[in-house]
């Protein structure tokens, strides 16, 4: 691919590029949310879309998450493909009833007569010194609900492909964007339209000694920890799950069968977090390969702390490296 076929984009720019691409391809794609139009969204993910597609397709809504998502459910049942934005994942809870009681159940409730092709976008996670309710990492709430797909990208290239795939999916998708890395780095992203399949993990680093599973903003510190510990002769394989529901069990198990050891990293609190589901998947299907207890490196079971303790709360390369050593040396 020549340089003219790619664009150097940050993750948040890839979000906008995906929306721009799909809105140009399919007039049924509608963007709505608080300040998504004239202001271009709180993180400027929708900047300029209203100028290109008009106020009928880029809709500034009242401050009502329940109304935003409830309206989107009706749009989707009617045949449109709405992409509602919730400004922060911590603001989504007023819309939780609409998501789990209606969007997730529409296909089953109607015996397949209706589907709900909508994508609920929300920036999530900590690390940007935000106030209360702005740093939640509660993806497990949505993974627990049958009928929802849950996607978390970690690179600009994946972001565009996964978001396009989510918009084209016939069922509701919760698309969580790790805002810590919205503008952390750039990649050469294909200018053309493309999809990254939902439900497929990516092996970001090959290794034979231990499998480290992660997603979203935690992918970068996990890769850094893997590179650091390689200097000690330990080769860690890093698996970026990308889609949390449905989980790519095949890739999870293939990696573990190769290494026999595992660490799971996420920034959500430990109790009830997705690490437990990954561990259970391994225990149920590949326990005969296991050489050591599986470690979890997570946030703590406390409300997300404010500025002074934020860096302590989030998993970082040293803490991840300690867990890798522990399982390798067991």
The residues annotated as belonging to the active site are 134
Tokens representing 295?
Answer: 């470690």
Short-list 232, 128, 241, 102, CA closest to 183: 128
Cβ pair 98, 148 in contact under 8 A: no
> How long, in residues, is the chain?
330
CA–CA–CA angle 224, 237, 8 (5° rounding): 55
> Which residues fall within 8 angstroms of residue 132, CB to CB, at 6 or more apart?
90, 303, 304, 306
CA distances from 128 to 4, 131, 178, 180, 293 (A): 33, 9, 11, 6, 33
Largest CA distance in the chain: 60
């Amino acid at each position: 691919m020549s340089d003219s076929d790619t664009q150097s984009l940050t993750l948040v720019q890839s979000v906008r590029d995906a929306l721009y691409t799909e809105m140009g391809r399919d007039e049924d794609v509608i963007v709505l949310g608080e300040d998504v139009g004239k202001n271009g969204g709180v993180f400027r993910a929708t900047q300029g879309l209203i100028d290109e597609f008009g106020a009928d397709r880029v809709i500034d809504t009242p401050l009502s998450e329940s109304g935003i998502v409830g309206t989107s459910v009706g749009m989707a049942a009617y045949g449109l493909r709405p992409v509602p934005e919730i400004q922060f994942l911590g603001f989504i809870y007023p819309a939780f009833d609409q998501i789990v009681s209606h969007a997730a159940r529409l296909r089953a409730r109607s015996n397949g007569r209706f589907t709900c092709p909508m994508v609920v976008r929300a920036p999530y996670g900590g690390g940007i010194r935000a106030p209360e309710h702005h740093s939640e990492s509660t993806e497990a709430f949505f993974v627990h609900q049958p009928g929802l797909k849950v996607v978390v990208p970690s690179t600009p290239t994946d972001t565009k492909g996964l978001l396009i795939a989510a918009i084209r999916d016939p069922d509701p998708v919760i698309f969580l964007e790790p805002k810590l890395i919205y503008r952390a780095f750039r990649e050469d992203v294909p200018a053309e339209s493309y999809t990254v399949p939902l439900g497929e993990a990516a092996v970001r680093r090959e290794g034979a000694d231990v499998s480290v599973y992660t997603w979203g903003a935690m992918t970068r510190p996990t890769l850094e920890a893997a590179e650091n510990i390689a200097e000690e002769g330990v080769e860690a394989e890093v698996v970026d799950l990308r889609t949390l529901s449905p989980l790519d069990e095949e890739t999870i198990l293939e990696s573990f069968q190769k290494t026999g050891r595992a660490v799971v990293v996420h920034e959500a609190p430990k109790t009830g977090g997705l690490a437990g589901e990954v561990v259970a998947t391994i225990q149920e299907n590949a326990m005969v390969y296991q050489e050591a207890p599986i470690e979890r490196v997570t946030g703590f079971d406390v409300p997300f702390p404010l500025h002074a303790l934020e860096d302590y709360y989030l998993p970082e390369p040293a803490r991840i490296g300690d867990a890798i050593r522990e399982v390798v040396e067991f």
